[in-house]
Amino acid sequence: MWRIAIACLSLLLPAAPSQAQQLIRLARIADIPDQYVGGEMLRAVYARLDIRLEFEDVPGKRALALSSAGEIQRIGTLSRDYPTLIKITPAINYIEPAVFTTRLHFDVAGWDSLRNYRIGIVRGVGSSEAGTRGMADVTATTGLESMVKMLDADRFDLMVTDLFSGMVAVRKLNLQARIYPLAPPLERIHIYHYLHERHRDLVPKVGTVIAEMEASGELATLREALVKQVLSAP
C-alpha cells in the first residue's frame, strides 16, 4: 500500500509563533504500496486544514512502537490494543487481503481455507497477523519484497498481502509469469486514521473533511488515480 495498515504514525509539531503552516510527520510501513496511497489520500485531507504532512518509512513493528503519537491508516480495532489512539471516522481507505502463490489453484473461502498451507505474511501488518493467528506454519517476513522473493524460492506455499500491494511488488520484481493472485480476496477491510488523544482537538476536524470528500466522491477518485499511478510506474 508504499501500505499501507499502512501503518503511519503522526507526530504533531508545535506551531511556530508566526502563522507558519502546521507540520505533521508520519511514520509509514516501508515497502507497502497501499501505505503510499493512504498517505497521499491523507495528505489531501490535511491540506484542507492547512496542515502539511511529511512521511518516514519504517518497518511495521517500528511503526506501531511510534504510535504514542498517532496512526495514519490501520484496521478499525487498533484502539483496543492502543487505548491512547482515537479512531477517526469514516474510513479513509480499504484493503483487500489476497492469496498469492506459484503453483496452487483453489477457490479462496476465507482465512480458514489457508490453514493447511505454509503461509508467508509481512510482520507488523495487523490484518495478516490477525487472519493467520493460531495457524501452524506462518512465516513473518521483514517486508513485502523479501516475502515475494521467499515465495519465488518456495520457502512457503502462499503469501498473503493486500491485492494491490502484491500486484505492485510482483510486477516490480518481474515475477508476473510465476506468481499470481487467487480469487476472491480474503475480505475487504476498512482502514481508519488514528490520532493520539493529546491531539483530540483535530479528530472532529479531520473526520469532517474525510466525510465531505467521501460524500463528494473525491476520495474514491483520488484512490483510483493513485492506484493507477503506482501500477503504471516503471
DSSP at 14: P
Our CA angle for 229, 110, 37, nearest 5°, is 20
Domain 97-181 in the same topology as domain 8-95+189-232: yes
Residue 52, phi then psi, degrees to nearest 5: -95, 140
| Residue 111 DSSP SS3 | helix
Cα–Cα distances in Å, from 72 out to 16, 37, 77, 112, 178? Answer: 23, 11, 14, 29, 33
- HEC per residue, 24-67: EEEEEECCCHHHHHHHHHHHHHHHCCCEEEEEEEECHHHHHHCC
Q: Are 56 and 23 in contact (CB under 8 A)?
A: no
Residue 73 pLDDT: 54
Task: Determine the CATH number of domain 8-95+189-232.
Answer: 3.40.190.10
For the chain, domain boundaries = 8-95+189-232, 97-181
Residues of the chain with pLDDT under 70: 1-20, 59-81
Starting at the edge strand found earlier in the chain, the sheet holding 158-162 runs 138-141, 119-122, 158-162, 97-101, 180-181
- In whole angstroms, give the CA distance from residue 141 to residue 143: 6
pLDDT in tens, 88-147: 999 999 999 999 999 999 999 999 999 999 999 999 888 899 999 999 999 999 989 999
C-alpha cell at 104: 496452487
Residue 99, phi then psi, degrees to nearest 5: -95, 130
Q: Are 161 and 99 in contact (CB under 8 A)?
A: no
- In whole angstroms, give the CA distance from residue 137 to residue 60: 21
- In whole angstroms, give the CA distance from residue 61 to residue 196: 17
CATH of 97-181, one of 3.40.190.10, 1.10.760.10, 3.30.450.20, 3.20.20.70: 3.40.190.10
Residue 64 pLDDT: 55
Residue 62 pLDDT: 55
Q: Which amino acid is at 11?
A: L
**What is the residue whose three cell numbers read 460524500?**
215
Cis amide leading into 90 (omega within 30): yes
Residue 194 pLDDT: 84
Residue 21 pLDDT: 74
Residue 78 pLDDT: 61
H or E segment and range at residue 177? none
DSSP at 200: G
- State the CB neighbour count (10 A cutoff) for residue 17: 6
